[in-house]
Amino acid sequence: MIQVRNLGIDFGSEWALKNIDLDIPSNTTCAIIGPSGCGKTTLLCVLAGLLVPTAGQVLIDGQQLRGIRKNTGLILQNNGLLPWKTTWKNVELGLRTRQPDRKIVNEKVYSILKQMEISEFRNKYPAQLSGGQKQRTAIARTLVLEPDILLLDEASSALDAITREQLQNLILEIYKNKPTTLVLVTHSIEEAVFLGQKIVVMKKAQIKHIMSNPFFGDADIRTKPDYYNVCMEVRKRLCGDA
């Protein structure tokens, strides 16, 4: 379980985060949404152990977070693939530093490439991949390490609408098959509603609203009025003054 208590980040001239309190139960999903500059990515970086809080603390399973955590996976918008390595080599990179048995490494890499539907691109370099294929590779590189917390920062924002929905569908399928604690930052209301059991609305360095999403997990929810009703509620929260 992730517990954020009275969290603050002061960059000197202003607070990037202020008085943040948030609970994310283990093996649930949380979507964080808000306008640019509101502190979403800063909060994610704190959860990843990349930033040290000025005030407050983050607890993971009751233990205070004090830096980068081995079992936390982070996927960034720019995917961070090494351009001189193939899809296979990018995915196996972190695993090889942890797993000396080459046979086990090969089995795990092949399995995750197949799961992410990119096994046919295993010998291609990032420059030869589409945007969606690059993001699938980045996600595969993280998932092959079997993290218990997965953090995503605008992982689908650079993709076209169809590819974005395909990636969202895949993330939901992966979560259903093997639940993990999933925290995603997004500018997309639709993505927040599709992937978030809990939806956190941020404004000006603070959490303004926390909503429960009763329709999370329905892969067909985009075709139903309930989906658009929740999207409308999130939009009202984002646009409201309170």
Percent of the chain surpassing pLDDT 70: 99
**Phi, psi of 139, rounded to the nearest 5 degrees:** -65, -40
Taking residues 74-96, report their average pLDDT: 87
Q: Residue 241's pLDDT band (boundaries 50, 70, 90)?
A: low
* Local confidence band at 240 (pLDDT 50, 70, 90 cut-offs): confident
What Rg value do the Cα atoms of the chain yield, rounded?
A: 18
Sequence-separated (6 or more) residues with CB below 8 Å from residue 15: 8, 9, 205
d(CA 191, CA 33): 10
Give the span between the Cα atoms of 91 and 142, in whole angstroms. Answer: 8
pLDDT digits (tens, 9 = 90+) for 171-208: 898 889 888 999 999 989 999 999 999 999 999 889 99
Tokens 């646009």 sit at which residue? 239
Give me 118's structure tokens.
């990119």
**Could you tell me if 167 and 91 are in contact, meaning their C-beta atoms sit under 8 angstroms apart?**
no
Tokens of 32: 């964080």
Averaged confidence pLDDT in the chain = 89
Neighbours of 229 (CB within 10 A): 12
For residue 122, what is the DSSP state?
A: T
What pLDDT sits at residue 11? 84
Residue that the structure tokens 């046979």 belong to: 103
Q: What is the pTM of this model?
A: 0.89
| 3-state SS class at 2 | strand
Is the model more confident about 58 or about 218?
Answer: 58
Environment class of 210 (CB within 10 Å of its CB; exposed 0-12, middle 13-18, buried 19+): middle
**pLDDT at res. 211:** 92
Give the whole-angstrom CA distance, residue 24 versus residue 100: 34
The strand order across the sheet containing 2-10 reads 15-24, 2-10, 55-60, 63-64
**Predicted confidence (pLDDT) per residue in 25-60, tens digit:** 999 999 999 988 888 899 999 999 998 899 999 999
In this predicted structure, the answer to whether residue 24 has a pLDDT above a threshold of 70 is yes
Cα torsion 21, 6, 146, 83 to 10°: value is 110
- How distant, in Å, are the alpha carbons of 37, 55, 92, 97, 142 from that of 104? 43, 43, 11, 13, 16
pLDDT at 127: 92
Residue-range domains of the chain with CATH: 2-71+149-239 (3.40.50.300), 81-146 (no CATH)
Task: Read off the pLDDT of residues 122-135 as tens digits, 9 standing for 90 and up.
Answer: 999 999 998 888 88
Residue 153 corresponds to which tokens in the numbers above? 């920062």
